[in-house]
Structure 1
């Protein structure tokens, strides 16, 4: 069985059926963008690391931006899982809004730690690129009623959710907290504490924001 992209972008990429040169370009770009940043990485460097020519890169990706999007779009699309039975089963097992929030924070943080390179790239680009922020917001607010409506229904059933908070709002708040934490961890590690303690604090902050 092929791995789920929700678990690991690298593992998913290993099993994707695509030309070897294209896959090599993605793997090399993933590493270099995370280490040097998008602007600090040239296609010459990507080609050298991948063991291919620049012509091969541009055969599959018209621009360096297209190569970046091929890495971050799957991550943005799956930062929150769609149609995932285990995810909803985990939420249903929770008895209160704080428990649901804590479950989501820990579940999605596990996703983030399994995709550290791509998430780091996403976090860096969102800080400096309005286009990337707009794309992220657009992907989070797609009318995916099967996911968002079910999520909102379960949160509402606790009787603890504020009336003015909707499904996309829940996602934006949790995503914002987690991405912010990744930015802090990478660029200001001295201000973060222990991982479990920090996740608990994040969960409590989210609950205060969305609860009555």
Structure 2
């Protein structure tokens, strides 16, 4: 569907850091075709000749803009990885979500979960590429690790310590608390969008159950 592809490319161009929006028509078609093929077949199985054919350009045109197939992949996946951490970078989001303005830690987790689930749905095709390719490309893995360690964790550490002081979170290293929360929320998103996309799931309820599991674990003991 060309109109849907165009939305992916428009979003991708907007996500790319430093992008001035001055892409040629051929570049847009190349990105459009690459998103489609990388998402469906994966990086390893995709070929630049196939991408060129789908984009309606000569294969050499791709290499005039991107030196290698991997450069083309990184031009797609890199901006998405950055955008995933963007709320923890942007001051307006930090002021709304991360500046300890929530009385209950559940409210903070709920807001973040809803925001990132909405982002994942909006950029589903692009995220699928990122998720599939991170384990096989050290450059992508390093970028995600840097974003997590230097931005997400640093912003969240003081929030976790604040709620620990209030007795709302158990005494544990903040990185462990964050790792647990990230694991649950990423698992929820991946299951919802990739594994069981057609299941009739109430997403608000799923978020609430995930937060409940995060806060209380699997213990059947009565809550105090």
On the 8 A contact 2:49/2:59 being kept in 1, the answer is yes
Contact 1:97 1:207 in 2 (8 A): no
Pair 1:97 & 2:102 matched: no
After superposing the two structures, state which structure 1 stretch, 64-73 or 128-137, moved more.
Answer: 128-137
The offset of 1:58, in angstroms, is 1.1
Contact 1:105/1:174 (8 A) holds in 2: no
Say whether 1:78 aligns with 2:83: yes
SS in 2 for 1:57: helix
| 1:37–1:167 Cα change, 3 Å | same
Please give the alpha-carbon distance, in whole angstroms, between the structure 2 residues aligned to 1:88 and 1:40: 43
Q: How many angstroms does 1:183 deviate by?
A: 3.4
Which whole-Å CA distance do the structure 1 matches of 2:131 and 2:113 have between them? 17
RMSD over aligned Cα atoms: 3.0
Do the aligned partners of 1:112 and 1:119 also contact (CA within 8 Å) in 2? yes
The C-alpha deviation readout for 1:36-71, integer Å capped at 9, x for no partner, is 222232111211222222111111212211111111
Find 2:184's aligned residue among 162, 173, 177: 177
* Mapping for residues 6-85 of structure 1, pairs under 5 Å: 10-11=10-11, 13=13, 16-80=21-85, 81=87, 82-85=89-92
- Contact in 2 for aligned 1:43/1:64 (Cα 8 Å): yes
Asked if the contact 2:37–2:51 (Cα under 8 Å) also holds between the matched residues in 1, the reply is yes
Count of matched residue pairs = 197
Kindly tell me: are residues 163 and 26 of structure 1, through their superposed partners in 2, closer, same or farther at Cα, counting changes over 3 Å? farther
Contact 2:12 2:79 in 1 (8 A): no
Superposition TM-score, scaled by structure 1 size: 0.75
Give the counterpart of 1:165 among 161, 164, 173: 173
Aligned partners of 2:62 and 2:177: how far apart in 1?
Answer: 38
Correspondence for 2:144 among 131, 136, 140: 136
TM-score by length of 2: 0.72
Bigger relative contact order, structure 1 or 2, given CA contacts below 8 A and separation 6+?
A: 1
Bigger Cα displacement from structure 2, 103-112 vs 20-29: 20-29
Which of these two proteins has the greater Rg computed from alpha carbons? 2
**Conservation of the 8 A alpha-carbon contact between 2:109 and 2:211:** yes
**Aligned equivalents of 1:64, 1:74: Cα separation in 2:** 16
The structure 1 residue matched to 2:115, chosen from 107, 111, 115, is 107
Distance in 2, matches of 1:66 and 1:208, equals 44
